[in-house]
Amino acid sequence: MKTCPKCHKIYEDSQNFCSECGTQLVLTPVSQALREGENGGKQQEGTTAPVQDPTSTGEGAQEQGNSQPGNNNWQQYQQQQQYQYQQNPYGPGNNPSFGARLQANIPDANTWKPMYFSFEGRMSRGTYVCRWLILLLSAVVIGLICGIVTFLAPLGLVALIALAVSQISLAVRRLHDRGHSGLWLLVCVVPALNLLMFVYLLFAQGQPGQNEYGMEE
């Protein structure tokens, strides 16, 4: 598995760049350790132990000790783990927890636009749920603030409109994940169908592999 150093999304090994921000992907510590372990195992299988004189010592024994890949692999794993922790301190993995995934979808000054206001690419169910909850929480907080500080109501209205546009952006990319056009959202103008569309976006499984809108997350 690979992860984006900026927005911390998880990708398959076949991906090289993040579909959200275009940053080059890096291997997760687990994938890095497994790959190094496989390479070390292949080297050990392909190397036949030389027949040595029991009385021989010195340079031959030293060269044999230096040829073992264990120490180098462990040092590389530690360096990679430290780098990954600096880039993504909540601890990425093949199956990140809900809390880790939710934290990964909190935007910053550089990622808020591609994460919440882009209409290109695809979005998985897990990412959609996390970002939808973050937008819902933001709307609740804005409503409470505007209810207490009434003169901020006009600014609160603008913020709620921006959140609505962001919700549309998430829904469009979720439809792309199913291989559908974003125009499917037009069915939401029918009161009975908007709830069905929301349930569909929450639970419909994305198309595996690549479709016309990009590679799956």
Q: Return all residues near 150 (Cβ < 8 A) that are at least 6 apart.
A: none
* CA-wise closest residue to 164 among 128, 132, 193, 130: 132
pLDDT band of residue 27 (cuts 50, 70, 90) is: confident
Q: Tell me the per-residue pLDDT of 126-146, one tens digit each, with 9 for 90 and over.
A: 999 999 999 999 999 999 999
Q: What value does the mean pLDDT take over residues 59-84?
A: 55
Q: What value does the mean pLDDT take over residues 139-155?
A: 93
Q: Tell me the per-residue pLDDT of 157-192, one tens digit each, with 9 for 90 and over.
A: 999 999 999 999 999 999 999 999 999 999 988 888
pLDDT at 21 over 80: no
> What single-letter amino acid sits at 116?
Y
Go through 93-107 and write b for each residue having 16 or more CB atoms within 10 A of its CB, e for each that does not.
eeebeeebbbbbbeb
Q: Tell me the per-residue pLDDT of 44-69, one tens digit each, with 9 for 90 and over.
A: 555 554 555 544 444 444 444 444 45
* Pairwise CA distance, residues 125 & 116, whole Å: 15
Going from N- to C-terminal start, the domains of the chain cover: 1-96, 117-217
Q: What angle do CA 87, 92, 98 make, to 5 degrees?
A: 125
* CA-wise closest residue to 9 among 139, 138, 100, 71: 100
Q: What value does the mean pLDDT take over residues 19-37?
A: 73
* Pairwise CA distance, residues 104 & 88, whole Å: 8
* Pairwise CA distance, residues 113 & 132, whole Å: 15
